[in-house]
Amino acid sequence: MKILIRWSTALLIIFIFLFIGSYKYLSLHNWLFGSDIGSYDTILQETLKGNFGVEYTYGNSFGDHASFTLLFLLPFKLLLGPYMMNLLILLTPLFYLICGFVILFYAKRKKEISWPVMLTGMLAFILHLSVFRGNYEEIYGFHIDTASGYVMVIFAFLLQLHKEKRVNLKILLVVIYTWFLFLKEEMALLGLVFFLVLWIFSRDRNYLLWVVATLFVFGLQILLISYFKTPFNRGNEVFLTRLFQRISEHSTIGVLNEVPMNQFWNFILFYSITYGFLILFQRINKIAFALFVVALFKSAICFVTHDYFFYSWHGFPALALFSGAVILQAFYPVKSVYAKYNPVLLIMSIHVLILFISLRNDYEYSKVVRGSVHANKNYKEHVMPDLIKIKKLIPENHVLALNHNLTVEFNDGYRYSMYPRGVNMLPSGIADYVLINRKFKGASFLSIKLADELVPDVRDEFDTLAVNESFILYKRIKPHHTKDRKLFIKFCGKQTLE
């Protein structure tokens, strides 16, 4: 029976990966993604050109966050070139796939896990809350944060295997944890919380070494961010300033009242209640407990970013962490007095039943995506000939300001910012060309109001270079004697704007 469960759940994980991946591929190539995925692709492109970390929205990406894990993708960018975005959109679902297989591997090594508990545990991961919408990464297509929860869960399960001496994974654990830390400096804080909790409860000197190493990496990340910082970077202090401003204006209670019950508190309560019932009937798994605390800490960060939706890159990793903590605890031995009745199976069965019911939200959302893809496909077929003609007039070494949805059509060597950045918003004055959609009739996950606000002001500085039925291309006519342009050259190099 266990073999049947392993194979069937493995196939289900692969199916969900392919399902989400196909939706993301269609969305990317039908102009539903843009923004950050374009920035990440540009970072890789410019780094290969010798312009380390440069992109044209915030100057140098590493001046905002220490996301040096991106550098591991450079060989893939070199190999794939303009097709790199196809890989980027698949990275988060890929880590979902890997995480599922690691949990399966863990369950296989722990032969004492009964097949019903194994089945409910696997389904609890496969169908976790917002599994489609979170992995889909609307608007952005890819964000460096989104898969961090899966990476941490992978690390936790392998660490548990290592502690139980079922397999020696020292080198692999160091590699995965280092990779996790350099996703972003925030991950170093999550790792610090994780190992502090483990050290407090076990007083194991090895955990203290992990704490010290994490502190060292975090300090190094802060220094590197300061080194690469440009006047166009936002920095973490922006979010903290906004949080304190909201608290001063609305009080702490007022800020808490802003949080949506159905999208935030209910999700936390759901996993907290399940975990709470599990530890009533089981010995507490220290690693699972540390993972649960990290999930709470990650949820708390949503207050700093003012983003309370667990399908976004800020909150979604917390769902993976909650799910991992629940499953790791469920796979732990039941207290002997309750062993005859196996209450864990009942708790996990109810947990999975609620997850099945909640799948309706993901299903309804997938219908919205499917409709949006269809709408944009028709629109794209109509305007693509016009875009091809316009594209021939734009030199690759000059910066183009464009609508974020179109970045996928300019990922073959072009430099671009998402307007109005590069025109009349920081870093203003660096764009030599501006491409405007005359009548965008496709679908977008950005509201119409926001889309209207993003149209740049091209008066005085630009002249019309080409016009057709679908697009207008403007070329800068005034000399580039703007403060931001000079600063961009100073901090990023003259070759970035030539």
pLDDT digits (tens, 9 = 90+) for 11-59: 999 999 999 999 999 999 999 998 789 999 999 999 999 999 999 988 8
Among 188, 190, 147, 142, which Cα is nearest to 298's? 190
pLDDT of residue 255: 62
Say which residue the tokens 């003259």 belong to: 494
pLDDT of residue 35: 77
pLDDT of residue 139: 85
Amino acid, res. 248? S
- C-alpha to C-alpha distances, 245 to 186, 239, 248, 299, 459, nearest whole angstrom: 21, 10, 5, 20, 35
pTM metric for this prediction:
0.94
pLDDT of residue 175: 96
pLDDT of residue 249: 65
Burial class from Cβ neighbours inside 10 Å (0-12, 13-18, 19+) for residue 490 reads exposed
Counting runs of H as helices and runs of E as strands, what totals does the chain give? Answer: 17, 7
Q: What are phi and psi of 234, to 5 degrees?
A: -85, -50
Spell out the domain ranges in the chain: 2-368, 383-497
* pLDDT, block means (10 residues), the chain with 498 residues: 91 97 96 89 95 92 94 96 96 98 94 90 96 93 94 97 87 96 95 97 92 96 94 73 65 66 84 95 94 96 81 92 97 67 87 95 94 92 94 92 90 89 85 86 52 63 92 85 83 87
79/377 Cα distance (integer angstroms): 28
Region for 330 from its dihedrals, namely left if φ exceeds 0, alpha if ψ lies in -120 to 50, beta otherwise:
alpha
